[in-house]
Amino acid sequence: MLDRIKASLPCLAPAEQRVGKLVLSDPRSFAKLPISELADRAHVSKPTVVRFCRSVGYDGLSDFKLKLAGSVSEGVPFIHRSVDADDKTNDIVVKVIDNTVAAFLKYRNDASTANIEKAATALVNAYTAGKRIEFFGAGNSGIVAQDAQHKFFRLGMHTIAYSDGHMQVMSASLLGPGDCVVIISNSGRTRDLMDTCDIARKNGATTIVITASGSPLAAAGHIHLAADHPEGYDRYSPMVSRLLHLMIIDILATCVALRIGSDKLKPLLQEMKNNLRSKRYA
């Protein structure tokens, strides 16, 4: 959580930056002090403290302080242990699993339920209005985009996934108000995805970005679902980030499915299951 705040500082207004620096200097005290004292210490107004909490992806001061207290008090172990060249198989198994579990636990503490709610609402609105829902990614993130398309089309939604930059630009050019595009990126600095996001947004489509805090893509989208981790995107193949992105897609798909309702989905999924039986050996 503290890494996420630190990464977000350059994107914040000067007054909000002072609040962020106060958090980083003494997170335990920040989680306990009343808003009036926090505002005095940061030399800002009380509304600025609340705006800071929302700017970094939380519902408000109460939600921020709850997550902050959990992060510094519970001590969720986020120690990214890099695989070394001389590691034995047992070491590799432990490190890869530990990194993944720690990333998931960290996300559980840091996740902005408000932004997840906004993203789910945008997707359901697009589905209800018969609008387009598209998923874009490049490289490893392109595979996540395909997984997202697979999950959402089973809910009866008209979805498509593109990992080719030219196809993304052409498709984004055809989007309009009411349409929804989910853009997935580990680094948040891929040129094609940034261009695509700008085009889609200019045409009035709702842009949901799943990427690292403080990145250009995080600031470019309408709704940012932060996926922060210490794994360097320029070393090896991004493993933790891919799993984190997949988990966020699962959360979104579950939220959307519950909003659509079992009365509508249950018959659809049952018929799909029945039709697939012939594809399996008895």
Query: Which pLDDT tens digit goes with each residue over 3-20?
Result: 778 888 888 999 999 999
CATH of the domain at 155: 3.40.50.10490
Using pLDDT thresholds of 50, 70 and 90, give the confidence band for residue 78.
very low
Query: Is residue 59 one of the residues assigned to a domain?
Result: yes
**Do 60 and 129 belong together in one domain?**
no
In this predicted structure, what is the pLDDT of residue 164?
Answer: 95
**Do 155 and 34 belong together in one domain?**
no
Average pLDDT rounded to a whole number, residues 145-156? 93
Using pLDDT thresholds of 50, 70 and 90, give the confidence band for residue 79.
very low
CA distance 104 to 98: 10
In this predicted structure, what is the pLDDT of residue 73?
Answer: 54
Helix, strand counts (H, E) of the chain: 14, 5
**Do 247 and 178 belong together in one domain?**
yes
- Domain hosting 21: range is 2-73
CATH of the domain at 59: 1.10.10.10
Query: Is residue 102 one of the residues assigned to a domain?
Result: no
Count: domains in the chain: 2
Task: Say how many Å lie between the first and final Cα of the chain, rounded.
Answer: 49
Residue 171 has pLDDT above 90, yes or no: yes
**Do 119 and 246 belong together in one domain?**
yes
Average pLDDT rounded to a whole number, residues 103-111? 82
Mean pLDDT, all residues of the chain? 87
Using the structure block, give the residue that is written with the tokens 């490190």: 95
CA distances from 228 to 6, 29, 50, 174, 266 (A): 12, 24, 22, 31, 35
Using pLDDT thresholds of 50, 70 and 90, give the confidence band for residue 275.
confident
Q: Which of 16-25, 60-69, 99-108, 196-205 has the highest mean pLDDT?
A: 196-205
**Do 21 and 160 belong together in one domain?**
no
CA distance 171 to 148: 17
Which residues are 182's β-sheet partners? 135, 208
The helix-helix angle for 240-260 and 140-153 (nearest 10°) equals: 20
Average pLDDT rounded to a whole number, residues 94-121? 85
Say if CB 18 and CB 42 are below 8 A apart. Answer: yes
Q: Residue 98's CB: how many other CB atoms inside 10 A?
A: 15
**Do 52 and 192 belong together in one domain?**
no
Angle, vertex CA 4, rays to CA 242 and CA 237, nearest 5: 25
Residue 43 has pLDDT above 70, yes or no: yes
How much is the pTM? 0.70
In this predicted structure, what is the pLDDT of residue 238?
Answer: 60
Using pLDDT thresholds of 50, 70 and 90, give the confidence band for residue 249.
very high
pLDDT digits (tens, 9 = 90+) for 209-236: 999 988 999 999 999 999 887 665 445 5
**Do 175 and 120 belong together in one domain?**
yes
**Three-state helix/strand/coil letters over 182-225:** EEECCCCCCHHHHHHHHHHHHCCCEEEEEECCCCHHHHHCCEEE
In this predicted structure, what is the pLDDT of residue 209?
Answer: 97
